[in-house]
Amino acid sequence: MSVIEMPEWVMNELNKIVHDFIWEGKGVKIAQKTLVARKQEGGLKLIDLETKKLAIRIKTVKKYMEGRWEFGWREFLKKYIDDVGRMGEYGWYMGFKQSMTVGMPDIYREVMEAWRQVKDIIYEVIPGFLRNNCIYDSVCELDGMESRVKVNNIYERIKASLPSKWVNVIEKSCVKKKQQDLPEMYIMKDGEKYNIKSISVKKVYDLFIMDQIKVPASEKVWSRVFEDLDVKKIWSNMDIKYNTIECENNDFLIRHNRIYTNVVLNKINNNNNVMCDVCNTDHETFLHYFLECNELKDFFVFLKSLLKKNCFDDVNLKERWRKIFLFGVFQKKTAIDFWFINYVLSHARLAVVLRRNYAHFEGRKVKIKDFFKAIMTRDIEMCCKYGGDDVKDFFVTGNKFIKEGERKEVLYNW
C-alpha cells in the first residue's frame, strides 16, 4: 500500500503532460471525459488518473477484507474505521459521509473516499437477519433525525411478528460465521457478480469511470445532419487494419466534428476569411469542406468508379454517398471488401484535408486525384516493404485493386 497520497500539483502536471502530448501543446478539442471512453464509444480509452487512483485505493480495502494480518497498516486503518463508525470493522458497511473522515491521515482519507464512492454499487450478504446497526444505517440515509433506540425497537418488533417457522428457516439455513468474520461483499457488473475480495483494480476502475463518461458532442450534430444515421455506429469502423496513424487521427477528428474550417476559425478570429480556400465560391463549412466544394466533384466521380469496379458494384453510392464518404461502411460483405472500402475512404478523407491545407497555408492548389493516388501508393508500399510477405499477401489476396507483378512489384487497378 502506498503510504503517502499523490500531491495535487503532481496530478495536475501529469494531466498536462498527457494533454500536451495528445493535442501537441494546443487547445483541447475533445473533452477529457469523452476520451476516457472506449474506442467504440468515441473515446481513446485514455486513463483518468484521478479515477485510477481511487480504484487503486479500493485495492487497499480488498487487502483489508482478505484478513491478512501481516499487513502492519491494517491495525492503523482498523482504528480509524472504528473512529468513524463507532462500531468496529462493521464501519465498512456504513453509509458514512465525507465529513466523517475529517482528521484522518490523507492516505486513509483517500481510501475511505474511494470506498464511499463504490459503496453505492455493492451489496452485502450477511447470514441470518441483518444486524441492528445495518438497519439503523439504512434508515439514517433517508432520515438522519431518527434515534438509534427507536429504530432498533421497531426492527425487533418486526422480527418478533414473523412466524416462528420463518425465523427458524432464516437462522438454521444460514452458515454460521464467527463473530469476528465480516459479511461477504459483492459488486454486480454486466449481470456478473464479483466478490470484493477478488475483484481486480481494472474492474473497479471500469465501474468508477462508467458514471463519468461524457457522450461525444458530435453525435447530436450528426443526428441532425443525417436523420436516418445510427450515430453510435460511426465509431465501430475506426479500427482499419494497416491504416496509418495520420489517417486514424484524421478520421477521429472528423467524427468528432473537430476540423477547423474557415467558418470556425472566423469565430475565433474575425479577420479570418470564411470563404473556401480551394474553390472560393462559398463559405467553408464542414459539409462544404468535405462534400460540397466544386473542386471535389471530379474526384468523387473517380472515387465512386474506383470503389464500384473493385469491390462495391452492388450498392447505390449516389443515394448514400455523403454518409459513406464521411464515416465509411458498416455492413460487412466479405472481409477484404469491408476492410478495403474503409481503407480507401480513410485515405480519400486525408487527401481532402491535406489538399485544403496546402491551399490555406501555402496558397497553392494540388490535383486531389493525383494526391490521393500518391498517398495510397506510399502507404501500401510501405506496408508491403516492411511488413513482410504476410502483409503483402493480405493486401493482394482477394483484392481486385491490388495485385503482384512478375517482378514482385505492387500493381494498382486505378
In this structure, what C-alpha cell is assigned to residue 390? 504476410
Residue 332 banded pLDDT, cuts 50, 70, 90:
low
Res 127 pLDDT > 90: no
Q: What is the reported pLDDT for 80?
A: 77
Residue type, 208: F
Q: What is d(CA 240, CA 249) in angstroms, rounded to the nearest whole number? A: 12
Q: Are 328 and 315 in contact (CB under 8 A)?
A: no
**Whether 184 contacts 125, CB under 8 Å:** yes
pLDDT for position 101: 74
Confidence class for position 233, pLDDT limits 50, 70, 90: very high
Distance CA 338, CA 360 (A): 34
pLDDT of 13 strictly over 80: yes
Model confidence band, residue 255 (pLDDT cutoffs 50, 70, 90): very high
Q: Which residues pair with 411 in a beta bridge?
A: 403
* Cα 19 from Cα 204, distance rounded (Å): 24
Name every residue whose Cβ is closer than 8 Å to that of residue 352 and which is 6 or more positions away in sequence: 289, 290, 296, 368
Q: How many CA atoms lie within 13 A of 198 on its CB side?
A: 6
pLDDT at 112: 78
What's the pTM? Answer: 0.76
Indicate whether 342 pLDDT > 60.
yes
Flag whether pLDDT at 361 surpasses 50. yes
User: Are the C-beta atoms of residues 187 and 207 closer than 8 Å to each other?
Assistant: yes
Helix/strand number for the chain, H first, E second: 18, 5
Q: What residue type is assigned to position 360 of the chain? A: H
